[in-house]
Amino acid sequence: MFIPIHDDNPHRHIAAPVVVYAVLGGTLAAFLATLAAGPETVERVVLGLGLVPAVLTGEATLAPGLEIVPAWATLLTYAFLHAGWAHLLGNMAFVWVFADNVEDALGHVRFAVFYLACAVAAGLTHVLIDPASQAPMIGASGAVAGVVGAYLVLHPHVRAWVLVLGPIPLRLPAAWLILAWAAFQVWNAATDTEGAVAWWSHIGGFVAGAVLVVPLRRRGVPLFDRPIPR
């Protein structure tokens, strides 16, 4: 739909978004390690660390030798795996542009908890919608959706540069972009009959991020770009 490239939003509380850097670095490292492995290893990693709803609910089990971590842990590990460069770079572009300001508003530790909690919420939403699915879900899209939801609550009036329809750069208010993005997710969740993309997980992550940012933000950090009344 669009790819964010920059926002006009300086940090107010932190010198550097170290958790964002860790997420970017860790996710890239996981992708490169998977890419370097052979096809059989890739399949094992995707099945063993991806989120398989039927395995989490107990309706199915992985074949012997495929389980890498307990089923509950895949609610976290799935968010660090990606299916290809486009999948990876698309998600990490959103992290790069929007997540640093969420980390600024929450602080390092609470942002780390926030990011993982959004991944879990997105994963549980997917499981709730399709509990019998035996297809593994991978990708940071749910956690990224949480970041986007939090950014909407914190900074709807900040303008961001995005690439629309390929190479067309536009500078638009974050609220316009994010609400259009959210509408796109809802539309696809309601109309997609193939189920190749876990659209509902995006919606679950988005809602979780918009809700969690309120209690987790630093004391005094305003919502909706509005100063706190004195």
Each residue's pLDDT tens digit, 116-128: 999 999 999 999 9
Does the domain formed by 2-216 have CATH 1.10.10.10? no
**Domain extent listing, the chain:** 2-216
Each residue's pLDDT tens digit, 49-102: 999 999 999 999 998 889 999 999 999 999 999 989 999 999 999 999 999 999
* Residue 229: band (very low, low, confident or very high) from pLDDT cuts 50, 70, 90: very low
| Spatial distance between the Cα atoms of 184 and 210, rounded to a whole number of angstroms | 17
DSSP code per residue over the chain: -EEEEEES---SS-SS-HHHHHHHHHHHHHHHHHHHS-HHHHHHHHHHHSB-HHHHHTS--PPTT---S-GGGHHHHGGG--SSHHHHHHHHHHIIIIIHHHHHHH-HHHHHHHHHHHHHHHHHHHHHH-TT--SPB--SHHHHHHHHHHHHHH-TT-EEEEEETTTEEEEEEHHHHHHHHHHHHHHHHHH--S--S-HHHHHHHHHHHHHHHHHHSPTT--STT-PPP-
**Residue 39 confidence (pLDDT):** 74
**Residue 2 confidence (pLDDT):** 83
* Residue 230: band (very low, low, confident or very high) from pLDDT cuts 50, 70, 90: very low
| Strand-pair category, 2-7 with 168-173 | unpaired
In this prediction the pTM is 0.94
138: left (phi over 0), alpha (psi -120 to 50) or beta: beta
Share of the chain above pLDDT 90, in %: 81
